[in-house]
Structure 1
Amino acid sequence: MILIEGTSYITFGEGTLTELELAIFKKKQTSPYEYQYDSIHALLFELHMRMQIMKSAKALSRAGVYFAGFERTLCNPSYWHLTDEGRFQLKSGVAPQDAIRDIFTNGGSYGFECSMAVIVVLYHALLQSIDPGQFDLLFADLLLFDWDSNSKLNLIDRTHTEEAVMGDVLYFENPDVEQLLPWWKGENVVLLENDLFYGHGHGLGIASGEEVINVLNKYRIPGSMKSAFLTDRYVHPDFSCFSEYQRPSKERPITARIGDWIHVRKVGYLIN
């Protein structure tokens, strides 16, 4: 259930939400779990950014970035310093927004593994969702690695994957991975529409959950009967932390509280 200002009675006028945004709203609204928002603005920002996460995932899948383990990580030295741990540290004097965009425009200069890929997706989606100048201020010392090393994204850790919606980051685990092939121990993925997932590397790209599991199962120890599986853990940014930085070009819809109902109508609410 979605709660805003103490009510769960929310209605949107025609065209206020896209088809996919409406699907996310309906799933959260009919959930037995409670999702609280400070305002309609915060809810709309989350729906918008979730759309951007999916667009960024698809864009990265087409960008030509190589899959590489930590020891073979690659980056464009014009924007990033590659640390001994395989992390990308933003170079002095480089705008964070330019460095993130370069990954998508010069993908052939980059190679990283799946956990960094989803972090890149989240940063790019955030850049598309908030004012670029604010993005540069928020991430002036940008460091790219895995989802446990990017606290500035304010990732919220959740369980119960039946509650996951489009734009969430999930993980497939391969418990009996062949020890000589540790990069097949699992796959970080972004949930897309139609129950598809984006997973970087291993030739996966955009695939169904069954396809991800089938690929991982090929790299188990001989004789293993333990299949790869989708874990209960999933994460997403704390969207409310970033909603105040929404791009100035975004116009808020008209909202009206009538009794227990909140009515929302589109008035030039722009979606990039």
Structure 2
Amino acid sequence: MIIIAGKPEFVFDDSTLSELERSIYQKKKSSTFEYRYDSVEVLLFELRVRTQIVESARLLSKSGVRFADFKHSKCNEAFWDRNDKGGFELKKGVAPHDGIKDIFNNGRLYAFECATAVVLVLYKAILESIGPKQFDVLFSDLLLYDWHYSSNLHLKERTHPEDAVAGDLLYFNNPDFDPATPWWRGENVVKLEKDLYYGHGIGIKTAEEFIAKLNSFRKPKSTQSASLSDRFDQLDFSSLWQLTSSNQGRFIIAKVGTITYVNHYQPN
């Protein structure tokens, strides 16, 4: 169930939501979990960012970046300095948004593992949602390394992965992984549409395909299958909204009786 400012009844104009946004909205609306928003603008902002997360995941999958463990990670040294742990630190004088965009534009110069990839997807989605000026202010402390991320990027942990929607971050666990290939102990993924996920090093696959791939890297004679973890993460969209101001005034909200109607604002 979706509750906005204490009220459950909102009607969106057909042009307000994209097909993906509408499917996310409908799944959250039909859930037994209560999703509470201070305003309709916060909900719409979340839907826009989730769409960008999906798009960014698809772009990264096509960018030419390669999979590598920390020991063998690589970056474009014109934008990033590789530290002794295999992480990437933004080079002095490089704008954060330029550093992020270069990875998507020159992916063949980069190699990293799956946790770095999903954090990178979030950064790209936020950049496209709030613009380079605000992005550079909020994420001036960029470090790409495992699950390390900026102090202004907040994640919330949830249970019940069946409630996850497009733009959430999930994990396929492979407890019986072969010690000879420790990087296949699991796979961090971004949920896309329906039963599709993006995981760096494997690509865009269904849950069944991710499990089959991980199972191929188990110990000999193992009988314990890989599986989807019972916990997942999602961006704290409300927190991000509060840090930005560029999304104000994009919608017309009108009340008729007990129902609130939401339309896209098209300036002249």
TM-score, normalising length: structure 2? 0.95
| Secondary structure, counterpart of 1:153 in structure 2 | coil
Q: What is the CA deviation profile of residues 66-117 of structure 1, one whole-angstrom value per residue up to 9, with x for unaligned ones?
A: 1000100111111111111111111221100000000000101100001100
Aligned partner of 2:51 in structure 1 is 51
Please tell me whether the aligned partners of residues 70 and 86 of structure 1 are also in contact (alpha carbons under 8 angstroms): yes
Q: Distance in 2 between matches of 1:160 and 1:151?
A: 26
Contact 1:100–1:123 (CA<8 Å) still a contact in 2? yes
Alignment partner of 1:166 is 2:200: no
Unaligned runs of 5+ in 2: none
2:258 matches 1:260: yes
Quote the residue 1:83 is aligned against.
83
Matched, 1:123 2:127: no
Residue 133 (structure 1) aligns with: 133
Structure 1 length as normaliser, TM-score?
A: 0.94
- Could you say what secondary structure the match of 2:188 adopts? strand
CA distance, structure 2, for counterparts of residue 51 and residue 246 of structure 1:
19
Contact 1:130 1:242 in 2 (8 A): no
Q: CA offset at residue 267 of structure 1?
A: 2.5
Root-mean-square deviation (CA, aligned residues, Å) is 1.5
Residue number in structure 1 paired with 2:18: 18
Number of positions where the alignment pairs a residue of Structure 1 with one of Structure 2: 266
Q: Specify whether residues 246 and 210 from structure 1 end up closer, same or farther in structure 2 by C-alpha distance, changes over 3 A only.
A: farther
CA drift of 1:253 comes to 1.6
| Deviation, structure 1 residue 15 | 1.2
Number of the residue aligned with 2:42: 42
Equivalent residue of 2:230, what SS?
strand
Contact kept, 8 Å, 2:119 with 2:149, in 1: the verdict is no
Where do residues 152-191 of structure 1 align in structure 2 (5 Å cutoff)? 152-191=152-191
Q: Distance in 2 between matches of 1:266 and 1:133?
A: 24
Q: Is the 8 A contact 1:251 1:267 kept in 2?
A: yes
Please tell me the residue identity of whatever aligns with 1:238: D
Q: Which residue number in structure 2 is paired with residue 225 of structure 1?
A: 223
What is the CA distance between 1:246 and its match in structure 2?
A: 5.5
Worse overlay, 232-241 or 150-159: 150-159
Distance in 2 separating the partners of 1:62 and 1:265? 34
Which residue pairs with 1:9 in the alignment? Answer: 9
Asked whether the equivalents of residues 142 and 149 of structure 2 are also in contact (C-alpha less than 8 Å), the reply is no
Aligned counterpart, 1:112: 112
Identity of aligned residues (%): 51
1:235 matched residue in structure 2: 233
Post-superposition offset of 1:60: 0.3
Q: 1:157 to 1:95 in 2, by over 3 A?
A: same
Alignment partners' CA distance in 2, 1:93 and 1:138 = 16
Q: Deviations over 1:6-59 (max 9, x none)?
A: 101111112111111111111111111111111111100100010000100000
Shift in CA distance, 256/208, structure 1 to aligned 2, threshold 3 Å: same
Structure 1 Cα separation of the partners of residues 262 and 44 of structure 2: 10
Q: What is the deviation of 1:264?
A: 0.7
Mapped contact 1:254–1:267 kept (Cα < 8 A)? yes
Q: Are the aligned partners of 1:60 and 1:121 in contact in 2 as well (CA < 8 Å)?
A: yes
The answer to whether the Cα contact below 8 Å between 2:155 and 2:236 also exists between their aligned partners in 1 is: yes
Distance in 2 (CA, whole Å) between partners of 1:217 and 1:147 is: 24
C-alpha distance in 1 between matches for 2:174 and 2:255? 49
